[in-house]
Amino acid sequence: MSNQQRNMHLEAARYLLFLGDVTEPGYAKTAFGLRDWATDRCLGELRLEGATVSTGLSTLSPEEAAARGATALVIGVAAPGGGIPIHWVPALVAALEAGLDIVSGMHVSLSDIGALVVTAARTGGRLINVRIPPSDIPIASGLRRSGRRILTVGTDCALGKKYAALAISRGLQQRGIDAEFRATGQTGIMLSGSGIPIDAVVSDFVAGAAELLSPAANPDHIDVIEGQGSLFHPAYAGVSLGLLHGSQPDMFIVCHAPQRQHLLGFPTIPVPSLEAVIAQTTVLGRVTNPAIRCVGIALNTGGMSQEAADAEITALAARLPFPVSDPLRGGPSFERLLDACVA
């Protein structure tokens, strides 16, 4: 299947969200992202015994989902390392038997699982791997290209870089600005029907992939690029830095979850300060764009009351010389963040 064919299938897909036996909400990012940003294309969820996380959608069997118009089961969870546990396979086989495709954003290819290949060949179901990057990525050139770019960076993984980029690109579009969301992860690719899974690219080519992802554009066009990881993350910082260099952003927005004390899955490592992330992103980003600058902070205040969120936003806005907002709560602070993106 070509990338173009894959993207057509993704744009038209209607999903049954598969959650496996997940117990950590942070690992169900794909299911939540599809529920929140492609709401009308998500028909229900399917969980295995032991799962404690839910999207709140109706529980459907593959047959029920197919009867309601679903075209694919999407694996909505991602454990560290990106594998597909063997005890998930019967549910995936059942989905194929019900006439669904399987969409996966895991590092392993669905085609490496014999039971899926054999069943799909019989049912005609498609095995769609969203996390397999194109094979013809060049080494980064480092050369500047036209158009403007905003990158969302973060103090950790899984705290709102994709949501912030989606909200900002939509907000800019609603102002009549020629803005586009650029997906760098599996969920974003499922949502937008295009993009490059940057963390699956061979490391020598990461910056080159980021250059491909956001090509030269009209001077007024703004690409809003989904960030990955964090420059201070012990496992993924290399991905973040390659993406920063290849994106050559004119502007960046730091995403932060004020309630998180330690990196997700790394209980001994504290979350870095916003000031440290701003300083490092600026210094390292200057390698490919000397004019790079921070234009705002996107707070993830999920789980906080409106009062607590407002207090956090006000306190940070007093501490830092940038607009601070939770893009999902919107309001005047979000308008100021959008103002900064077009100033």
Amino acid at 29: K
What is the spatial distance between Cα 140 and Cα 150, in angstroms, rounded to a whole number?
19
What is the spatial distance between Cα 323 and Cα 340, in angstroms, rounded to a whole number?
7
Among 75, 102, 231, 251, binds its own copies (CB under 8 A): 231
Using CB under 8 A as the binding criterion, the count of chain residues that bind its own copies stands at: 44
17 sits in which H/E element: strand 15-18
Within 83-112, which residues bind its own copies (CB under 8 A)? 107
Contact between 200 and its own copies by CB under 8 A: the answer reads yes
Among 50, 90, 134, 142, binds its own copies (CB under 8 A): 142
* CB of residue 162 to its own copies, shortest distance in Å: 16
Within 47-86, which residues bind its own copies (CB under 8 A)? 80-82
Among 1, 121, 235, 308, binds its own copies (CB under 8 A): 235
- For helices 89-97 and 114-123, what crossing angle results, to 10°? 10
Radius of gyration of the chain (CA): 20
* CB of residue 183 to its own copies, shortest distance in Å: 16
* Mode of pairing for the β-strands spanning 251-256 and 293-299: parallel
Contact between 237 and its own copies by CB under 8 A: the answer reads yes
Amino acid at 7: N
DSSP three-state, residue 262: strand
* C-beta of residue 302 within 8 angstroms of C-beta of residue 286: no
CB nearer its own copies, residue 22 or residue 96:
22
From the list 27-35, 92-100, 172-180, 197-205, the region that binds its own copies by CB under 8 A is: 197-205
CB nearer its own copies, residue 44 or residue 265:
265
DSSP three-state, residue 167: helix
Distances (CA, A) of 98 to 41, 84, 306: 18, 20, 43
Binding mask 258-277 for its own copies (x = CB under 8 A): --------x-xx------x-
Terminal-residue alpha carbon distance, the chain: 42
* CB of residue 133 to its own copies, shortest distance in Å: 9
Contact between 125 and its own copies by CB under 8 A: the answer reads no
What residue ranges bind its own copies (CB under 8 A)?
80-82, 107, 138-143, 198-204, 206-208, 231-243, 245-246, 266, 268-269, 276, 280, 283-284, 287-288
